[in-house]
Amino acid sequence: FGLGAKPIINRYGFCVADPGDQEPLYRSVGGQNQALRPRRILDGIVDGVRVGGNCSGIPTTQGFLTFHPGYKGKPLVFVGTVGLIPRKTKAGRLSHEKAALPGDFIVVLGGRVGLDGIHGATFSSEALTGGSPATAVQIGDPITQKKFSDAIVKEVRQRNLYSSITDNGAGGISCSVAEMARECNGCRVDLEKVPVKYPGMAPWEIWISESQERMTLAVPPEKWSELETLLKSRGVEALVIGEFTDSGRCQVSYRGEKIMDMELEFLHNGQPAKRLLTKVRPSEENVVSLPPLTELPLEDLFSKMFKRLNLASHAYVSTQYDFEVQGGSVLKPLVGSRQIDGFTTVVQPLPESSKGVALSQSLYPAISDLDTYAAAATAIDTAVRNLLAVGTPLSHIALLDNFCWCSSDDPERLWQLKECARACYETAICYGTPFISGKDSMYNDFRGFDSSDQPVTISVPPTILISSIGVMSDISAVRSFAFVKPGDLLYLLGSGGPEIGASEYLALLKEEGLSTCDAQGQVPKFAPADQLPLYTRLQEWTAAGNFRSLYPLAQGGLALAAGKGALAEGLGCELEIPAAERPDLFLFNEYPGRFLVSLTPEMGAKFEQEFAENCFTKLGRVRADEEIVITQNGETSLQTTVSTLLDAYRSTFAGF
Amino acid sequence: MSQPKVLLLTGYGINCEEETAYAFQACGAQTAIVHVNDLIAAPKQLSDYQIFVVPGGFSYGDDTGSGNALANKMRHTLWPELMDFVAADHLVLGICNGFQVLVNLGLLPGDGDNSFGSRRVALIANSTARYECRWVNLLVAETDSVFLGGVSSLSLPVAHGEGRFFAPPETLVELKQRRQIALRYVDAKMEPAQGSFPANPNGSLEDIAALCAAKGRIFGLMPHPERAFRLNQMPDWPERLALEPDSDWRQPGSGRVIFKNAVNYFS
């Protein structure tokens, strides 16, 4: 609500190491200053989002957990909020336009300032070492926020009591006030007027503290008394700490003493551009050798895929978050009577409007190790496809990027970043899906020691998270991935390939000792432009409500899509693998651009006709019982049951 | 009287007032969302209303126990007006955190006919020791709740960390005799949950999910009926759409009947 929008959806994403990893890490030598273990970190992150989200009365519908050894030193935590705001205010002004005027009071409201959150912004972009400050972390109190967010969104905004508004994030008031000062070209702040949690804070600490739950407003003097009275009656502390000016300067004092007096122009644009060098990272010859199919226990591998950290049920997290508050959750985080984790959620923000907001995301950190261009392009494709699959039109999808990089002074790492950014640009242009926001965090590295005092450096894999948001005009287009009726036809839409580089399947083979090959393999190569005809046709079909279910293939490939489709309502399926395909690669490859769809038998002929120019494979049908039967040339390749898979799927995090 | 007026409390972390107000409006009531401080400043306004609602949320962050701080605030500032309100032929509804408030306030289950004020039962931390957001099935118990007239079962979501009902044995006997137990958690086959998770999501004694008092005019429940007001809020809606693409999302969900009953009480 940096603009006074009503927060309507919260989202989350946690990148952590294997919670079963017990090998200790230390920030200092001699077994001193032990880093938290992955399980403890995960539990803490889950709790933090629970308290913050639930107490705020904002539904936390959409999220993900991603596991990778590279997140052991420094986990990544992503949280975000979707806001709803009228296009225009009652006064006829566009809601996103704001302008502090010279003479407006600078008003801070909400929580008080303390020593918590000092250097928070710089801390998040530095390698974590023994010297990292403990006070960098803010101490939150969601109820303080809830009190003033209710007041602002439901009362202050309507009464038009401010001319500009900004939330206090990184840098605290030093950023919020200085940013707003650009609107009128100047500000003057008396730091002793800023409410503090306790005495003894130095002026510079007050100026930059990132203590949470605070907003900065520009309030015309004649409106201050009305605002002050209203906020007081809502239990919200608000104080005038200075005024906006047109002096062209940012002037800060403390008890009459000058602390800072700087040209605004220099403050905002004074830093000289940094020149950095990149160097092409050579790609390795990377061909994996796989054991012959006859040596592989396919049925066993199939259920083990459902146990993998990245593919197993994370329902223990989503059920701790209130995804129902505000009453708009229509496609929920868990799907079907068996409550299987979904990939996209849909919220209907207004009870009388048929419009829906769809949210999803995608990231492929494992691919980043090999090819950051492919990692970004694949993530964008998946994040977009996840929305298409629930009935969102391509024309109403927007993206957000989060670059979380490591050792960014290294020219090869910088080159990887450049390749990643190029993929973001080219893929987004191709799909016509604009990036509307984003954020980055560099230097996600840990430098410390193991238990025998050997130096250890752990860097996150270059991580590009793509979050997607879409608006659909009619929520009746929503479909889940659950198979709903025996006899329904199953088709694979889109074309794939045999590459399994950086896939969950290859990782499983290595963990099981079934592949001794060191190589990471080739990652799927695909051209987004080739996908457009399929996506265009698909969205006509979703709008018409012609599908019974859709699953956009991602990690785990077709196996995961078919398995989860079957698990959701406990209906099995039979799939015939094309004669030319190697069964395991066909089932487990993670090629982007594809969907598993189910439709009524009556719709089959029409489907095959209308999708004739797009690539599809007729796979089989939904069964009335719980059997999952996969055949090739009429012979059974593997057979399992819904209950076997469900047990596997729920087992990994059963004790969490 | 045909159109009752509903006062819904807000402030200090209450967060379900808007969707609850919408549910009452859509059933034909007039609604007003009133900040608790504004009600305290002018408590007599309560007599302008026929239905008083404490919606769900996190009043005072649950920091001193769910619903405790808000209940104390109301006890010290609004008690005479609340007693007058209850003595008249009016309705009181507490949902989730609102139910916790009514229990702490002694409005539920009460000390007997038209006598209120002592805290006789408790809603304590869930047996799973964590917040649970999930859908549950409920069976209407032998009760006189005005809100549950004509209802035999419900499917509603719960979302709370402290919803485990507890009462001493003698109170439990009394609650049964006085038909004050309103809802019980049941499993998917509508058999008693018998305390087992997740059918009973919090470990409530005897699977108790809701209470009523004052001949069913005061009603408090842990689940959220306002989140099951329309068909498309129900968890099986996407699969239902797949089977019946023309089904209308505006159709009633399982919880609407509770609001309808409340409004119809005044018709």
Q: How many residues are listed for chain A in this entry?
A: 656
Q: Give yes or no for A478 touching B (CB within 8 A).
A: yes
Contact A306, A565 (CB under 8 A): no
Closest by Cα among A276, A284, A498 to A371: A284
B24 CB contacts (<8 Å, ≥6 apart)?
B6, B8, B31, B51, B53, B259, B262, B263
Q: Tokens for A98?
A: 């704001």
Distances in whole angstroms, Cα of residue A180 to Cα of each of A100, A245, B37, B140: 6, 11, 32, 56
Q: Give yes or no for A573 touching B (CB within 8 A).
A: no
What is residue A124's predicted lDDT score, i.e. its pLDDT? 61
A156 CB contacts (<8 Å, ≥6 apart)?
A4, A162, A227, A230, A231
Closest by Cα among B229, B237, B257, B177 to B16: B229
Active site residue B132: no
Is the ipTM above a cut-off of 0.90? yes
Cβ contact (<8 Å) for B38 and A50?
A: no
Residue of A144, A325, A571 to mutate, interface with B, max B Cβ within 10 Å: A325
What is residue B43's predicted lDDT score, i.e. its pLDDT? 97
Cβ contact (<8 Å) for A332 and B235?
A: yes
Nearest residue of B to residue A354, measured between CA atoms: B249
Nearest residue of A to residue B249, measured between CA atoms: A476
Per-residue pLDDT of chain B (267 residues; tens, 9 = 90+): 579 999 999 999 999 999 999 999 999 999 999 999 999 999 999 999 999 999 999 999 888 889 999 999 999 999 999 999 999 999 999 999 999 999 999 999 998 777 899 999 999 999 999 999 999 999 999 998 999 999 999 999 999 999 999 999 999 999 999 999 999 999 999 999 999 999 999 999 999 999 999 999 999 999 999 999 999 999 999 999 999 999 999 999 999 999 999 999 998
Distances in whole angstroms, Cα of residue A54 to Cα of each of A48, A318, B53, B174: 10, 12, 21, 35
Confidence of residue A141 (pLDDT cuts 50, 70, 90): confident
Cβ contact (<8 Å) for B226 and A475?
A: no
This prediction's pTM: 0.94
A414-424 tens-digit pLDDT: 999 999 999 99
Q: Give yes or no for A240 touching B (CB within 8 A).
A: no
A282-307 tens-digit pLDDT: 877 677 888 898 889 999 999 999 99
Contact A502, A410 (CB under 8 A): no
Closest by Cα among A564, A592, A557 to A466: A592
* CB interface of A with B, residues 138-157, below 8 Å: 141-143, 146-147, 150
Q: Which phi and psi (to 5°) does residue B212 adopt?
A: -140, 165
Cβ contact (<8 Å) for A325 and B22?
A: no
Active site residue B27: no
Q: What are the residue ranges of helices labelled H in A290-388?
A: 298-305, 315-318, 365-368, 372-388
Nearest residue of A to residue B58, measured between CA atoms: A55
Positive or negative CA dihedral for B30, B34, B38, B44? positive
Tally A–B CB contacts below 8 A. 129
A91-108 tens-digit pLDDT: 777 888 888 999 999 999
Q: Give yes or no for A56 touching B (CB within 8 A).
A: yes
Would the pLDDT of A218 be above 90? yes
Q: Tokens for A635?
A: 């012979």
